[in-house]
Structure 1
Amino acid sequence: MVELTPGGNAPLSDSKVTVRVISGLAADISSFRLYDSGKVRGDADMVFYGQKQNDDTSIQMISDGTNSAFTVDLSRMRSDVQRIAFTATAEQNAQITSLRSLEIQVEVNGQSVIRGQVELQGRPEAALILGELYRRNQEWKFRFISQGFNGGLQPLAEHFGVDIDSSTATSAPTSAPAPTPTPAAPPISLSKVSLTKEAPRVNLAKKDNFGVIKVNLDWNQGKKKTGLFARSSGIDLDIGAFVKTRNGNRDVIQALGERFGSMNSSPYVELQGDDRTGAVTGGEWLHISGQHWQELEEVLIFAFIYQGTPSWENTDGVVTIHIPGQGPIETRLTDGNNRQGMCAIARLSNVNGSIEVERINQYFSGHKELDKAFGWGFSWGRGSK
């Protein structure tokens, strides 16, 4: 493996690579597809926690937490893309030193081939440009940069030309009428809500139609681990939901028993397939019809380990709720009881037409115990996939 110091570069041996960022504590990582100007041409050129792939899927974010990564297919990269920059930001705009450790790696076929270790001691910045993939004589190389930015992710994104949604309004000059604006896509939102023990709830204002509410379960899909929790041991981490409608109907949505649900009829919740090993890019998705939100009373989101030894702290598991017009809402599954294979993650409740999202993060030995704890009243038997 090639070890780089800041400013150093190395050639790539393959067009399909994984760029991995490993930190001591959870960090927000991003990538920016850049052109001759050194800027993006649109918000689709940015990939981050709120937009986990670009418009042609040549760059995809595949995990979160302390071991985060992007898959990059350089063979499908647009010919006018000159660089792809990778950045890291400490959460809550803390100094980057709070991460305790930070490195970036380039992997080919699951093997690390290039590595850059960031020296964090004495650094006051809240964000870093870690490295970049760049073209040179029609070939791709990687450069380790380690350049700091004060102020966090927003000034970093704006440096690369991303149009950021901001609540600060600016007035047009009064000496001349403002020109008719050209219709454009709404600016990208960097707002993110992390549900914690200290701040377990968020309330979203009532709407006639919330659109498609997407709930994502993602876990460590990075380097193969040794021991009982290795990917090769066939760990199957599943997402599901208990659903209650306003007319009193109750249902269970999960891959177990092939209860995939429906978006167009009751219960208005649908599981988007089943990832048996975590190998599917982006993890598992559960969709909720926000168009029918007024017909729903409660959706209790859960995850369970269908196969493998429970080890929640090793999953780097994160559940993210995406609601159109809102920043992503996330909660992490890293503090569970390792003898219990099921987690009640979050509850979405209809409160007078609004959505209340509540972090739960309670762990149980199975479906029956979770049901009893929350009083759903289902009858349970053994099931399979």
Structure 2
Amino acid sequence: MAGGNTSVPSSILKVKIIAGKAADVSAYRLYDNDKVSGDADMVFYGQKTNDDGSVSLLEEGLTSVFEVNLPKVKASVKKITFALTCDNHDTIQALSKLAIQVECDNEVIIVANVGMSSRAEAALILGELYRRNDEWKFRFIDQGFNGGLKPLAEHFGIEVNGDEAPVAPSSPAPASSSGASSGQSTVNLSKISLTKESPRVNLTKKDDFGLIRVNLNWNQKAESKGFLNNLLSANKSIDLDLGAFVRLKDGEKWVIQALGNTFGYFDSEPYAELQGDDRTGAVTEGEWLHINGSQWKNIDEVLVFAFIYKGVPNWAQTDGVVTIHMPGQGPIETRLTEGQNRNGMCAIARLTNHNGSINIERINQYFSGHKDMDNAFRWGFSWTAGSK
């Protein structure tokens, strides 16, 4: 129940927030006044690790995971508080279920379930790790907020960029403000979620978009039962691969993927490069595709896809999310929520060049394989069996 507390080991802990729908999570290092000392004390989708690496956001989705290295936490920090905010104007009740769980050495030591009945708040402070007589304890809080992430962050003393506003998915996205007039930096909370109802966003023309980073992340470990059991044995991890079709303005076409070791090139054609292939699940940040935004004038289209390399697909349980990051712009994300279990390939999103602007469109269509997806979008590649 709320207010209950228990001791935890002064060790490396995993704090998991488990919900029935995807929601945003955040953590705050707090000091004697129950406030942060600066922007580095907040960990969330826009800043996944704090300045000393003591708190990191490893995974996001139906199960979001923070890693807290308690021996690394500065002596002046009195609390680390964990919170959740709902997406798309949802309320806590709409999540169907919500719990916070603390683990040490892969053993669950605390589980606290949130009562969901009549919960109209959009944000919730779930719990906190706090110091008491030179030891660490965990307290379940369950304190609601009617606002979203901005008032929650401001409650803890975070300075939020007051000029920023959510970008409508059909309107141009301006570059973010560089900070407050005082010269102090402010946290940029802007994020765009592409959904079935709002599938597009346009980024206005620029001479140089900088480094465009596309991230694929997913629930890389199986649950103890029912989760891709036929794929996972001997503690193997899910092998979900990121890739892209790239077409340049001169008509040249490329396939970027680990299959066949066609990783691409960043500084030369096709100006897109896959950053390795995580086959073990050990890389908690998932897989990355880098696109050279300074060469956007030479790129016509990038079709981003993912496929399950081994095993029977179960996209709903992969809890996959693709996030596009670029300088001066909040993250743009889309979730793989509509997959059919018979189809192992997903066309996720495409970035198209319209007179120098970037049009980003959520697709979320599922196919039996590369050739099937190619035919659907008429790219015209020739396909043979491959391996990696």
Do the structures match in fold with TM over 0.5?
A: yes
Give runs of aligned pairs for residues 98-137 of structure 1, distance below 5 A.
98-137=94-133
Indicate the residue corresponding to 1:216 in structure 2. 215
Q: Secondary structure at the match of 1:307?
A: coil
Task: State the alpha-carbon separation in 2 of the partners of residues 14 and 371 from structure 1.
Answer: 52
Task: State the alpha-carbon separation in 1 of the partners of residues 99 and 297 from structure 2.
Answer: 46
**Is 1:315 aligned with 2:318?**
yes
Amino acid at match of 1:213: I
Return closer, same or farther for 1:278/1:307 CA change in 2, 3 Å cut-off. Answer: same
Give 1:123 shift: 2.8
Task: State the alpha-carbon separation in 2 of the partners of residues 213 and 15 from structure 1.
Answer: 36
**Is 1:252 aligned with 2:255?**
yes
Provide, for residues 102-136 of structure 1, a one-character-per-residue CA deviation record: whole Å limited to 9, x for no partner.
11000112221101111122333211110011122
Q: 1:344 aligns with which of 343, 347, 359?
A: 347
Kept in 1: contact 2:26–2:82 (CA 8 A):
yes
Task: State the alpha-carbon separation in 1 of the partners of residues 276 and 46 from structure 2.
Answer: 22
Give 1:311 shift: 0.4
Task: State the alpha-carbon separation in 2 of the partners of residues 56 and 252 from structure 1.
Answer: 39
Give runs of aligned pairs for residues 189-200 of structure 1, distance below 5 A.
189-200=188-199
Amino acid at match of 1:240: G
Give runs of aligned pairs for residues 162-241 of structure 1, distance below 5 A.
162-167=158-163, 182-185=182-185, 187-221=186-220, 224-227=223-226, 229-230=228-229, 232-241=235-244
**Is 1:7 aligned with 2:3?**
yes
Residues matched between the structures, number:
370
Return closer, same or farther for 1:74/1:247 CA change in 2, 3 Å cut-off. Answer: same
Indicate the residue corresponding to 1:49 in structure 2. 45
Kept in 1: contact 2:216–2:321 (CA 8 A):
yes
Task: State the alpha-carbon separation in 2 of the partners of residues 26 and 357 from structure 1.
Answer: 21
**Is 1:354 aligned with 2:379?**
no
Amino acid at match of 1:184: Q
Q: Secondary structure at the match of 1:313?
A: helix
Q: Secondary structure at the match of 1:166?
A: coil
Return closer, same or farther for 1:305/1:14 CA change in 2, 3 Å cut-off. Answer: farther
**Is 1:144 aligned with 2:143?**
no
Provide, for residues 218-263 of structure 1, a one-character-per-residue CA deviation record: whole Å limited to 9, x for no partner.
1114663324615534420011111111222211111112222222
Amino acid at match of 1:218: N
Give 1:334 shift: 2.2
Task: State the alpha-carbon separation in 1 of the partners of residues 300 and 115 from structure 2.
Answer: 50
Q: Secondary structure at the match of 2:295?
A: helix
Task: State the alpha-carbon separation in 1 of the partners of residues 210 and 53 from structure 2.
Answer: 23
Task: State the alpha-carbon separation in 1 of the partners of residues 93 and 314 from structure 2.
Answer: 28
Q: Secondary structure at the match of 1:97?
A: helix
Give 1:93 shift: 3.4
Give 1:340 shift: 0.8
**Is 1:269 aligned with 2:272?**
yes
Return closer, same or farther for 1:147/1:168 CA change in 2, 3 Å cut-off. Answer: same
Return closer, same or farther for 1:168/1:281 CA change in 2, 3 Å cut-off. Answer: closer
Kept in 2: contact 1:315–1:334 (CA 8 A):
no
Indicate the residue corresponding to 1:172 in structure 2. none
Give 1:14 shift: 5.0
Task: State the alpha-carbon separation in 1 of the partners of residues 51 and 184 from structure 2.
Answer: 16
Indicate the residue corresponding to 2:20 in structure 1. 24
Give 1:188 shift: 1.8
Moved more, 339-348 or 323-332: 323-332
Give 1:278 shift: 2.7
Return closer, same or farther for 1:114/1:222 CA change in 2, 3 Å cut-off. Answer: farther
Kept in 1: contact 2:220–2:238 (CA 8 A):
no
Percent of pairs with identical residues: 59
Contiguous gaps of at least 5 residues in structure 1: 170-179
Provide, for residues 315-334 of structure 1, a one-character-per-residue CA deviation record: whole Å limited to 9, x for no partner.
01111111221221111112
Task: State the alpha-carbon separation in 2 of the partners of residues 342 and 225 from structure 1.
Answer: 25
**Is 1:35 aligned with 2:31?**
yes
Return closer, same or farther for 1:383/1:210 CA change in 2, 3 Å cut-off. Answer: same
Task: State the alpha-carbon separation in 1 of the partners of residues 295 and 331 from structure 2.
Answer: 20
Return closer, same or farther for 1:221/1:58 CA change in 2, 3 Å cut-off. Answer: farther
Amino acid at match of 2:218: W
